[in-house]
A and B are shown apart, each in its own frame.
Chain A
Amino acid sequence: MIRFDQVHKRYPNGREALAGVSFEIESGKLAFLTGHSGAGKSSILKLIALIERPTRGQVIVNNRNVAGIKPRGIAQFRRQIGVVFQDHKLLHDRPVMDNVALPLIIAGTPKREIDKRVRAALDQVGLLGKEKSRPLELSTGEQQRVGIARAVVARPALLIADEPTGNLDPDLAREVMQLFKRFSEVGVTVVVATHDVHLIESFDATRIVLSEGRIVGGAAA
């Protein structure tokens, strides 16, 4: 599903974020990327979502070498990936319904189908009935779950999340992680970057531990 092969990433400012990273995450697995901030977790997620391109090495996502994807093809490529952000990145001037529906609107899904699937996604994250609320009327945990609903509403084969529990208290954080676990159980490949090693201890998942742009430990599920 995802394969990194001797991937280097150096940013224009000269910082070397990744120095020869190789790993593979199988389809339908839950994987945690851990390490201190600046270890390279976010860089890996950005390379997967084609927000950044590798300086060297190969990145294979959904059996495609991302090097072969031209700028015009990036939008189409990202539609196969659901992304969850630490700061949710919701549109505050629109109700929950519109926020979650965004990927479907972009993909040109018929209106009737959109209503059905948004409701299903909100149901999965336990927010059914909040369609008309504005994001700022919700708690942080609820906002994060709206973000997750948006990421899964188009039923992507791959879900990536960057510090999705960073702003949540431990109970909410555990709930969110369990949500990701459930998605992986129904066949979605889930990659979560987190610095919270205690939280993920109890999860049966692939682990990749990073430090200063290198893999320093890990375990297959």
Chain B
Amino acid sequence: MNIGIYFSRHAQVLVGSLGRLARQPLASFMTMAVIGIALALPLLLNVFLQNARMASGNLNDAFDLSVYLDKKADAGRAQALAKQLRLRGDVAAVHVISADEALREFRESSGFGKALDTLRDNPLPDTLVVTPTLDAGTPQGTESLRAAIAAMPGVQIVQLDTDWIKRLQAILDVIRHAVMLTGALLAVGVVLIVSNTIRLDILNRRAEIEVMKLVGASDGFTRRPFLYSGLWYGLGGGFLAIVLVTVGTLFLEQPVARLALLYGSGFRLEGLSSVSMLEVLAAAAALAWAGSWLAVRRHIRAIEPA
């Protein structure tokens, strides 16, 4: 058999198996829908997870360190430190709030004006607000920046409240693992669904398979239409999964945007990229192919003419 015939035979079987599925549109659609839903669930979760990670990343970037200087440090110390810090590669900006400014601000905003007048000295220290660069905005980066600043002379306290970000990221990590587990289980589910569908298909066409074997069809030849049916189930299911995820993202886009606005963020939910869509199709096709392979390997061999 030459190569051209080989490929045209495969193409024929590929189209033929699609035609066979099209002749039972409802049953075929149901199988594809089950695959689509099974795949859409972890995908949708994953989309949210990716978005949450991106959003928490943004929060991290916006995080500043408050550096309180020693009360005993001399007046020029704050400016000198600010100058020194601005030279660092991991610092984006330094804002100096002198003790006097801080007191004035506090007097205005707190309503303790009278009480504050009774104080002999200004109890507030000079303060620097240090913004890390984007690259240094990770928990590790800010942590090392904190340590470096704390070691500088004249610095009393460096306040860095990254604990909640760490917790958030730990939670996201737990969710990520849960999504992976769900995804793995549902992937096995897809393999089994397709395997069972193809198994029933094989049993329904038992007589036909017997005839084919009697006139000299190899196992490979007999398997081919079933493997291609599996491939179509997978592609159909993958396509439905993409549709479901896209619809799901659109559905949640508005509420998420409102929520982001309340946090003063312009954050927008991102759906599947076109590369991810291709990956979903490829993964669905591969899983379904594996499922049909499981079925044909066992059941086609078992059918022998008698």
Chain A: residues with CB nearer than 8 A to chain B? 49, 51, 75-79, 81, 83, 89-91, 102-103, 105-108, 110-111, 150
Contacts and interface: CB of A to CB of B under 8 A. Distances in A.
Given A89-B214, A106-B212, A75 B6 contact: no
Nearest to A94: B208
A89 B207 contact: yes
A78 B211 contact: no
A214 to B, nearest CB: 23
Given A51-B306, A91-B211, A106-B221, A79 B6 contact: no
A78 B207 contact: no
A66 B219 CA distance: 19
B119 interface: no
Interface in B198-226: 207-208, 210-219, 221
B88 interface: no
Given A89-B210, A91-B208, A102-B211, A108 B6 contact: yes
Given A51-B305, A51-B306, A91-B208, A106 B217 contact: yes
A111 B11 CA distance: 13
A90 B213 CA distance: 13
A101 to B, nearest CB: 11
Question: How extensive is the interface on chain B, given as a class?
Answer: 20 to 34
Nearest to B13: A105
B115 interface: no
A183 to B, nearest CB: 17
Interface of B: 1, 5-6, 8-9, 207-208, 210-219, 221, 304-306
A69 B211 CA distance: 20
A107 B216 contact: yes
Contact of B212 (A51, A102, A107): A102
B1 A78 contact: no
B211 to A, nearest CB: 5
Given A51-B306, A108-B5, A89 B216 contact: no
A102 B306 CA distance: 19
Contact of A150 (B208, B215, B306): B215
Contact of A78 (B5, B9, B208, B216): B216
Nearest to B218: A75
Nearest to B305: A51
Which of A49, A76, A90, A102 counts the most chain B CB atoms within 10 A? A102
Contacts of A81: 216
A75 B306 contact: no
A45 to B, nearest CB: 11
9 contacts: A51-B304, A51-B305, A78-B213, A78-B214, A79-B216, A102-B215, A105-B9, A106-B212, A106-B216
Given A51-B305, A89-B207, A91-B208, A108 B1 contact: yes
Contacts of A103: 215-216
Contacts of B208: 91
